[in-house]
Amino acid sequence: MHSQRAFQHFLMKNSGFPNDLAKHTKSDAAMTLASATGLQPKGSKMNTAVAQSPTIDDTAFVRFWNEVLAPKFIKFKHVLVDGLSHHSEAVFPTLPVHEGDHVLDVGCGFGDTALKLAARVGPTGSVIGIDCCETFLDYARAEVRARSLNNVTFVRGDAEIALPTNQFDFVFARFGTMFFANPVAGLRNMRRALNPGGRMVHIVWRERADNPWLSMAKDVVLRFLPPPGDEAQTCGPGPFSMSDETVVRAMMKSAGYEEIEFRRVDAPVLVGRDVKDAIAFQLAIGPAGEVFREAGAEADRKRDDIEAALAEAINRQKIAADGIVMDSSSWVISAINPA
Ligand X SMILES: C[S@@+](CC[C@H](N)C(=O)[O-])C[C@H]1O[C@@H](n2cnc3c(N)ncnc32)[C@H](O)[C@@H]1O
Question: Strands, E, within 183-307: which ranges?
Answer: 194-205, 258-272
Backbone angles phi, psi at 329, to 5 degrees: -150, 130
Q: Which residues contact 321 (CB under 8 A, 6 or more apart)?
A: none
279: alpha, beta or left, given left = phi > 0 and alpha = psi -120 to 50?
alpha
Dihedral angle sign, alpha carbons of residues 3, 6, 8, 13: negative
- Is residue 57 part of the contact set for ligand X (CB under 6 A)? no
| Identified binder of ligand X from the candidate list 76, 179, 205, 331, rule CB under 6 A | 179
Q: Going residue by residue from 79 to 98, which x/- string records binding to ligand X, judged by CB under 6 A?
A: -xx--x--------------
| Identified binder of ligand X from the candidate list 175, 205, 257, 281, rule CB under 6 A | 175
| Identified binder of ligand X from the candidate list 36, 39, 132, 193, rule CB under 6 A | 132
The region of 103-111, 144-152, 210-218, 295-303 touching ligand X under the rule CB under 6 A is 103-111
Q: How far is the CB of 158 from ligand X (least distance, A)?
A: 4
Angle between the N-to-C axes of helices 303-315 and 212-221, in degrees from 0 to 180, rounded to the nearest 10? 140
- Is residue 170 part of the contact set for ligand X (CB under 6 A)? no
| Identified binder of ligand X from the candidate list 174, 191, 202, 218, rule CB under 6 A | 174
With CA atoms as reference, report the closest residue to 154 among 99, 98, 204, 103: 103
- Is residue 108 part of the contact set for ligand X (CB under 6 A)? yes
222: alpha, beta or left, given left = phi > 0 and alpha = psi -120 to 50?
alpha
- Is residue 289 part of the contact set for ligand X (CB under 6 A)? no
Q: How far is the CB of 178 from ligand X (least distance, A)?
A: 8
With CA atoms as reference, report the closest residue to 112 among 156, 174, 43, 37: 174
- Is residue 36 part of the contact set for ligand X (CB under 6 A)? no
* Range 229-258, binding ligand X (CB under 6 A): 236
Angle between the N-to-C axes of helices 212-221 and 286-295, in degrees from 0 to 180, rounded to the nearest 10? 20
The region of 48-56, 77-85, 288-296, 298-306 touching ligand X under the rule CB under 6 A is 77-85
Cβ pair 233, 59 in contact under 8 A: no
Q: How far is the CB of 187 from ligand X (least distance, A)?
A: 11
Residues that bind ligand X (CB under 6 A): 65, 80-81, 84, 107-109, 113, 130-133, 136, 158-160, 174-176, 179-180, 236
